[in-house]
Chains A and B, each alone.
Chain A
């Protein structure tokens, strides 16, 4: 009897210590399956939304050549910029949470003796051609200090989608002259103003002004079409088809998929967003060390990336381009089962994180942040308001730590 008590005491003393071991929770296979199938539903919705945004963007870009009168050209450019920054980028930024687990967006064949579905169809990931950063500006168009540089100024090159993609490859390295940031660069131009974005002169889009202007519009349209093609390829893999990546994912062991989902949450919150996209900018000390440096909309990128993490945790998604709202079962339900306090702390951390991010936006008359209406551009902040930037970093550190703890308590394998 005495010994039993002692064992119990010793066991509970472990629970009370900082590195406590929880009693293994009752795994619910059906709940885990639901979380995973909702993950797939959210991925499909996010990519569909990104696709709709990209379609709107290609329409806006195709209107540049047909609106050449000064006022309507100005309006058409304004519309294209707006569509890029909101309808196209906000869903895409949220979709980036679906990187990090070797899904279609950043798929890479792995030599492990097992042939996955994407390997069996020789799927090629296009992430590098959709969202590559930094952009090789002088490879595409003129820049300050090099007035004749780039494909647009080389009249000997006939611009086609195929030409752009082959030139883009440069010996198998795909990352230079296509994607969202190439479109951004051509719409806004280089940014040399620490208070505002790049201001590309209107004549750059006036076909009668120079052959280069016509080529610039042509290049923009080709970029839009290419982006659409790439997004379609990814989206197809997430549709509820008989054979595709999604189908295979749903048949994989829950432990692997949930480990992948937590790896994605941690990779985005603690590495990609925190280090690569925010902290590195502070450490390298340059104003244009930012994702969307031409349009000065990096705050939107940060917001959307963080929202992607939150979506996945809560199992929710609100589409930008339709009325679709998903309220699914997120991984929060799993965390709630093993450690309700931790789930509560994680949710509080999300709240603080979004307070810190939305402090960069203007407020409406009710004091609510206006998402997309940037008051403090990121490039200005990394030079002049570093504490605002640091506050986001600090909260991401907290979140990263707690997500790791949650993964550990769920018995998942996190390598990063």
Chain B
């Protein structure tokens, strides 16, 4: 009698405990905004102080930067040349941007990098800033050459046709090999990627022909070509190059040697001689570091997961890591550079032109929810996950061909799995 009652007691407490866990999980904190929160949920166990500071970071991330001089000294210094007026303009909901014409006709989320060795670099600097303060001439607008095609279908021949004639984005009048389009990726989980031990990435060298890119004596793990080894440097570069906000890491305005008016324009320098103070930049880094990984769906396609590994996708898109803080994360990347073949080559930098860092795949399925599109790859040329697979070449050619040989059911299972991670 007594033991029975204890059982009841126990099961009741377990039940209540479960309820508490469920309600705790349901209350994960998110950033404020009308957007869907897949890419803007905060990591657990942040201290009150961390939350207080990341909110200032979010303010600097989402509020527009204004022309200097202004009354709001912490917020001025936009331009002289720039692509967008705030971080959130391209990373809507901390999510992924789309090329122009997908969500809005003109869209700052696609920008063009300039080849460092070309004469265009002298003229425009590291990237084309399509906008400028009113009294300056803006650099060329992003004009597109588009080849709209039907969305990819589950058909081998069509896949190959499509891969050669998809949406491609160019600056009209500029040689293709001198400018390279780049899209704004989603920002969820970057803080966790920063916490992957170097040794883990070095281990990945055994799994493929991938290469490590060393930046300032550290492993490059952020950016489309692993251009940055720290989040701070990635964010600081975006502030200077995309918004024209100078900072401790990039203290010079993005004016080329020939852009006299740009050089003479008023800057929004503060007491540190830059437009965003180092501690304020730190608030933004704190914000990005505090965003949780995109949430996996509880019901993933088991068959799809098996296939993903069977056809060797995992040799570059490595699923799991244990971070320095003992968190298991699943970004699906080896953070190495791979030769992806001619079709994806951007010709920008001789040595790296066909090399791309394996992009993390987590959050693939959420892009549609948060950003309303499914434009993938570094320049948004792919219109679906399948289309993105079809663009794989070079070191990934074998895996792509494996994919194309799958039955229709297996393809669907794999795609369904990818939507869930």
- Chain A 139-152, CB-CB to B under 8 Å as 1, else 0, gives 10001111001010
Q: How far is the CA of A167 from the CA of B63 in the complex (A)?
A: 18
With contacts A19-B20, A172-B106 known, is A272 near B32, CB below 8 A? yes
Contact yes or no, B67 A139, CB < 8 A = yes
**Would you call A416 an interface residue if the criterion is a C-beta within 8 Å of the partner chain's C-beta atoms?**
yes
Task: Please indicate the chain B residues that have their CB under 8 angstroms from the CB of A146 in the complex.
Answer: 69, 266
Contact yes or no, A14 B70, CB < 8 A = no
Contact yes or no, B74 A6, CB < 8 A = no
Number of A-B contacts (CB under 8 A): 157
With contacts A10-B9, A172-B104, A283-B53 known, is A190 near B71, CB below 8 A? yes
Contact yes or no, A289 B66, CB < 8 A = no
Chain B residue with the shortest CB-CB distance to A288: B71
Contact yes or no, B29 A279, CB < 8 A = no
With contacts A10-B13, A21-B19 known, is A143 near B108, CB below 8 A? no
Contact yes or no, B56 A284, CB < 8 A = yes
In-complex Cβ contact of B368 among A2, A111, A294 (8 A):
A111
**Would you call B165 an interface residue if the criterion is a C-beta within 8 Å of the partner chain's C-beta atoms?**
no
Q: How far is the CA of A175 from the CA of B75 in the complex (A)?
A: 14
With contacts A2-B2, A6-B9, A21-B16 known, is A286 near B72, CB below 8 A? yes
**Would you call A106 an interface residue if the criterion is a C-beta within 8 Å of the partner chain's C-beta atoms?**
yes
CB distance from B242 to the nearest CB of A (A): 13
Interface size on B (CB < 8 Å)?
Answer: 62
In-complex Cβ contact of B106 among A112, A171, A275 (8 A):
A171
Task: Please indicate the chain B residues that have their CB under 8 angstroms from the CB of A361 in the complex.
Answer: none
Q: How far is the CA of A374 from the CA of B72 in the complex (A)?
A: 21
- Chain B 49-81, CB-CB to A under 8 Å as 1, else 0, gives 000110110010001101111111111101000
Task: Please indicate the chain A residues that have their CB under 8 angstroms from the CB of B134 in the complex.
Answer: 139, 149, 151, 154
Task: Please indicate the chain B residues that have their CB under 8 angstroms from the CB of A133 in the complex.
Answer: 63
Interface size class of A (residues with CB under 8 A): 35 or more
Task: Please indicate the chain A residues that have their CB under 8 angstroms from the CB of B20 in the complex.
Answer: 19
The A-contacting residues of B in range 179-196, CB under 8 angstroms, are: none
Task: Please indicate the chain B residues that have their CB under 8 angstroms from the CB of A190 in the complex.
Answer: 71
**Would you call B4 an interface residue if the criterion is a C-beta within 8 Å of the partner chain's C-beta atoms?**
yes
In-complex Cβ contact of B34 among A107, A134, A135 (8 A):
A107
In-complex Cβ contact of A289 among B4, B13, B36, B74 (8 A):
B74
**Would you call A170 an interface residue if the criterion is a C-beta within 8 Å of the partner chain's C-beta atoms?**
yes
A6-B5, A275-B52 given. 5 additional CB < 8 A pairs? A3-B1, A132-B64, A134-B71, A139-B134, A146-B266
Question: What are 17 A-B interface contacts by the 8 Å CB criterion?
Answer: A6-B5, A10-B12, A102-B34, A111-B372, A134-B71, A135-B66, A135-B70, A171-B107, A172-B107, A173-B84, A280-B59, A284-B56, A288-B72, A288-B73, A408-B23, A416-B30, A416-B32
- Closest A-B pairs by Cβ, 8 of them: A3-B5, A108-B34, A134-B72, A138-B67, A275-B55, A136-B66, A145-B69, A111-B372
